[in-house]
Structure 1
Amino acid sequence: MYQMYLGFLLLVWLPAVLRAKPAAQRCHAPLLSGGFFVPGNEFFSHGAKVTYSCNHGQKPVSGGWWATSTCQDGQWSDRPQCIDENACLPLTVPNANYAQNARTWYANGYTLRMKCNEGYKFINNDATAKCSNGAWTSLPVCQRDEYSCGEPPQVPHAVIIDQEYRELFAVDSQVTYQCEDGYTLQGGSNNMSIGCHHGNWTTSSSCSEWGT
């Protein structure tokens, strides 16, 4: 009887133990060169925050003159870091992108080469930005290419199968439609392609119910 009762307790207890979520880990005090943080504890519990500032001639990597960081299961989010006050933070240029190479900041004098998104082009072919004393200068501007096309026309009983949806396509782009099951194009094919030429999509066919 005792053994049966013990077995029943194990059946109840073991699944609960296996389902138990491990406790969140605490964080060691962050390593911060060139600045200080408060409070000055040695360990911090999960969810705890520190506020830090940097010495003269430096600034927090997130910008401004002070910043915060949070302990997240043994790691610091937005890890505290002090950088040269003349360094630049990553920038955002509308309708453009660049290879960040996981950088969180750029040294003074660094030149960044941009690339316009598909369907856009640089004004005056200026594709670079330069970090100068903590600010980006000569920011490129991407404007819509007059030869690009808007979203492809919607075709009843068909869907585009080779592209993610977007509102702008570069000149010479092509997209492929596939008819819904039970529908076909004239000639019996299920697929058709159209292209973007000088700002317009080439004419598309329609999908008709099979046998009509």
Structure 2
Amino acid sequence: MGTIIVVGIVFVVVMITIAVMVENAKQKATARQTGQLLRTDFNPDVIHGSAFGKLGIAIDGTRRKFAILQGDNAPKIFDFSQLTAVEVLRDGSSITKTNRGGQIAGAAVGAVLLGPAGLLLGGLTGSKRSIETISKLSLMIYVSDFIQPNYEVVFHQHLGSGGTKVSDLTVTMNLLNAWHGRMQAILAANTAGLPNQMLVEGNSHA
């Protein structure tokens, strides 16, 4: 029994250590990418850094621009007017998609991601089957670019078999919801023809 307890403690310590190392790596990557953006005319109000080979995203509300972060490579910077659609994907399936002009396909993302019964299949199929685990959550950004018209910003990816319990993804789903809302706000501003203005307040590194 004593050996089992010791092994359990060691496992917990190792997992905590790994989590801290991962978080530190993410923070350093985000700081480096913020510096890359500041060397241009882009001043990020909010930023979700790129780390471990995944894409990140940032928004400059004053200049009406957003950037796709590509790790150590130069960021791709777009005008708000170049955003054509935004889509939430769960395990590769579309949950909700908003096109330029405000047309929404699928269920409201907040209800889908944070429903009391857990993550619902919902969306285009209208199914109400409860989902217990998730392997991948991402935000697909569509732009008016013939060379590369879409970018997938991954917010969660489970390594190995199976998936992550929905109950363990509350923070991630809140973060994804926030970024989905920001991109929807950009689409809405494009549709309404709003003047140059801040769509986000203060500086954040969400």
TM-score, normalisation: structure 1: 0.21
Larger radius of gyration: 1
Determine which structure has the larger helix proportion and give its number. Answer: 2
TM-score, normalisation: structure 2: 0.22
